[in-house]
Amino acid sequence: MLVRQVIVRGFRNLADLEREVPARGAAILGANAQGKTNLLEAIYYPVLFRSLRGAPDQQVVGQGGHHSGFHLELSLAGAGVEHIATTVVGRKKRIVLDGELIDRVTAAVGAWMSVAFVPGDLALATGPAAERRLYLDRLLSLAGRSYLRALGRYRAALAQRNSALRHGQTEVARAFDSPLAEAGAQLVQTRLGWVSGAAQQFAAEFECLGESEPASLQYQGNSELADASSWESALAVSLSEDLARGTTTVGPHRHDLLLRIGNRGIREYGSTGQQRSAAVALKLIEIATLRQCRGTQPALLLDDVFAELDRERQSRLALRLLGPEDRQVFVTTPRADELPPNLDLPVWTVEDGRIV
C-alpha cells in the first residue's frame, strides 16, 4: 500500500502543496517548528480521519486565520481504494473514496493504512493502561471492521449506562447490560486472540532489538468476559459499587496489556532502553498484524525516533523498522546526520512549511 501523490491545503503551518511521492518514501528534514511533523500528520490523517497527535480537527486548521478548514488528498497504489479526499470545515467532515461520498467515518477507516511511531509512543511501555487500550482498539479496528463496529456499540452502551448510574437510575442502567455484554464479549474475545498470537513475536522482537532478558506480553483483565453469558453475574456483583462511583467498573474499558521482562513489569522496573524496546516491539507487531489481516503492507511513519540512539542501536532499529523493500517509509529528523547510515531514502527538506 503506497502513497503516490499527496495534496495538502490549509493544514497547520504547511503551505499548500501537491507532491508526487517516491515509492520508497522519504526522509523529511527540517529544524524545529518548520512543519516536518505536520507533514507526517497530514499523511497519517486519512488512516483514522483524525490527528495522530490526538488534536481536534479545529486545532489542525492552517494558522494565520486564512483558512476555515483543511483539505487532504492521497492517491494510492496497492490498496482497494485508489484515491481518498477529506475536507473538514468547522465540525463538518466530508470523505470521498474513489469519487464516492462516504456518509460515515467508520465506513472509510482502514482504506489507507499506515503505522506511526512518534516519541510519545514510549507511553505504550511507561504510561497508564489507557495508552495500551487505545493501542489495542486502534490496531484491532484497522485489522477488522467487526471489531470497529463492536467498539462503537460498546462505547455507546457504556456511555448510556454510566449516565444512568450517575443519576442513580438503577433499572435504566441495567437495561444497557445486555448490549454492553454482547459488544464487550466480542472485544475481549478478539483481544485475547490477538494477545495469544502476539506474545511470541513480542518476546522475539525484544531479543532481536538486543535485549538479553526474556520478555512477555499478557492480557490483564477478566478473560471470562469473552463469554457474553458471564456478564450478567459480573455486572450484578459490581452494581452497588458502580452506583456509588457513578461509572461501570467491569469490562474491557478497564483492562490492560501487561508487559514484563523476566519477572518484573517493564513500566515499573524496566530501564529506559528496555521501555523503548517494548514500545518498538508493539509497533512491529502492529505492522505484522495489519499485514496479515488486511493482506497488504502498511506504510510506516517515523517521527524523530533515532535522535537519542547511538549508531549501533540506530542501525539495529532501522533494520527492524524499515523491513522489506515493498514497505513505504516516511521518517522525520532535524539533521541528516541523525539518520542511521543504512537508511537509504529520498530526502525532502521542509522550511517554513514548504518542501524545498
- Please, which pLDDT band fits residue 188 given cuts at 50, 70 and 90? very high
Main-chain phi, psi angles of 15, to 5 degrees: -70, 150
Predicted pLDDT at 262: 87
Mind listing the pLDDT tens digit for each residue in 25-41? 999 999 988 999 999 99
Contacts of 62 (CB under 8 A, 6+ apart): 10, 11, 12, 13, 14, 70
The label of the residue with cell 488534536 reads 55
The label of the residue with cell 524545498 reads 356
Mind listing the pLDDT tens digit for each residue in 280-330? 899 989 999 999 998 888 999 999 877 666 777 777 777 777 766 678 999
Closest CA to 41 of 30, 52, 31, 49: 52
Give residue 13's Cα distance to chain centre.
Answer: 23
Residue-range domains of the chain with CATH: 1-113+304-356 (3.40.50.300), 119-295 (1.20.1050.90)
How confident is the model over 56-67, as a mean pLDDT?
Answer: 78
Predicted pLDDT at 306: 73
Predicted pLDDT at 146: 94
Q: 3-state DSSP call for residue 84?
A: strand
Mind listing the pLDDT tens digit for each residue in 110-123? 889 999 988 889 99
Q: Does residue 141 carry a pLDDT above 70? A: yes
Q: Does residue 220 carry a pLDDT above 70? A: yes
The rounded distance, in Å, linking the Cα atoms of 205 and 289 is 14
Predicted pLDDT at 309: 67
Mind listing the pLDDT tens digit for each residue in 254-268? 999 999 998 899 999
Q: Would you give the DSSP letter of residue 227?
A: S
